[in-house]
Amino acid sequence: MISTVLAFVLTLGVLIVVHEYGHYRVAVACGVKVLRFSIGFGRVIFSRRIGRDGTEFAVSALPLGGYVRMLDEREGDVAPGELERAFNRRPLWQRTAIVSAGPAANLLLAVLLYAAAQWFGVQEPKAVLSAPVAGSAAERAGLRSGDWVREWSADGTTWREVLSMSDLRWQATQAALDARALHLVVTDRDGSHRRTVVVDAAAVDAKEVDAQLMRRLGFGAPYGEPVLGEVMAGGPAATAGLLPGDRVLRADGVAVEDAHSLRERIRASVSGGQPVTMRWTVERAGQVREIDVTPRLVGGGARTAPAVGRVDAYIGQPAQTVLVRLGPWDGLIAGAAKTWEMSALTVRMIGRMLIGEASVRNLSGPLTIADYAGQSVQQGLAYYLAFLALVSVSLGVLNLLPLPMLDGGHLMYYLFEAVTGRPVPDRWLERLQRGGIAVLLVMMSVALFNDVARLLGLH
């Protein structure tokens, strides 16, 4: 819990400082006088004046954001000798640059963070597949348990290496969102028997980018041997006499291909709201024996997901991993490409939500960010850097939305001024501000509702 809170605070702190520093740095470069650089909103709890202009650097009570206050005739009287340093007196291109600098700083930070994650290197599961989910696009394409995905292509002509399972899932997600096929070159686990398959990702409903999308595509957990790990005392597996190291060969006479398949059979071992006893054929110390296993039920309440079976044992051995690491230049190129891809994905999902082609469940708020921040810290520095980059991309793109109160709203005003030769009338500014606040409140409410629903298991 403490690590989650600290990771969340660090995440917000870094991203807010970078965003506001972008505004501040360009404002100073354009000769605008900056009155206050604040991390947080509301009452100032700490401040210090720095520099020849006496800019007040402050920390305020509400830490969910920040602002840079510049000298501006619209916000108060300006001494005649400082009129040229007022924000509203600067040329249109300078005001545009100052406003754009915050989101640009977040996107630049994302490039560097993604690159740093590649430079450090990440241990990721090898792209060796478990048995595809029944009826999924991967199963229809003919993929099988133990297939090692080596290359991918969008059109079947230009091929790129699949670096890891995460890379494969990302390419599959992109194909589903683009409503196109995903061409794959696969071999067996030993690298032999090379063949090409085509996954019809266009046929998959991609309204929500989540774990269920991966199930519909068919790319579940990476391949793992169907061997038991830790067995909890008093649980169904222990009661049945199962031991760590037992290899499950068959379940109810059907061959068990991998750990994921076995987990799915356990989950599905429910009928009429009651657990169904399974007969497992188990290999232990070179001997084969038959063991009856009756799972316990989890869930099934009126407001939760349907009941599933559990045996209270770790199923499968750790997946084989590969170290994904790039050199300085390649890492920087990959960081820029990833930032572009995530920015495009964010814009695409927002657009699809607006026209009803994607669910608003894709919106996440501070609780989800805090949860993921804590998880990424526990996984290691490279994972946390990649997570920080993802949030930085989201912050940069969301701030460019043409909504009053956001940087994109101000850019929208400047576009109007550039086209018409005059600023937006004050009465319209006031109306747009009120509308923008309403839209932001709705978005924040939906995001917070989604956070709570995820924590309660309702999504």
> What is the DSSP-derived secondary structure letter of residue 286?
T
* d(C-alpha 396, C-alpha 107), whole Å: 6
DSSP E strand stretches across 267-423:
270-271, 274-275, 278-284, 287-293, 296-298, 308-310, 313-315, 321-324
* d(C-alpha 71, C-alpha 89), whole Å: 10
Beta strands 148-153 and 122-125: pairing type?
Answer: unpaired
* d(C-alpha 378, C-alpha 357), whole Å: 35
Report yes or no: 215 and 133 within 8 Å, Cβ to Cβ. Answer: yes
Token reading at 359: 């669910």
Residue 264 bears catalytic tag: no
Report yes or no: 64 and 366 within 8 Å, Cβ to Cβ. Answer: yes
DSSP result, 78-135: --GGGGGGSGGGS-HHHHHHHHHHHHHHHHHHHHHHHHHHHHH-EEEE-SBBPPPPTT
* d(C-alpha 144, C-alpha 65), whole Å: 48
* d(C-alpha 446, C-alpha 361), whole Å: 8
* d(C-alpha 277, C-alpha 292), whole Å: 7
> What is the DSSP-derived secondary structure letter of residue 230?
E
Q: Which is catalytic among the residues 20, 56, 225, 230? A: 20
Using only the alpha carbons of the chain, give its radius of gyration. 27
Token reading at 119: 């430079």
Residues 6+ apart with CB under 8 A from 54: none
Q: Indicate the length of the chain as a whole number.
A: 459
Q: Give the active site residues.
A: 20
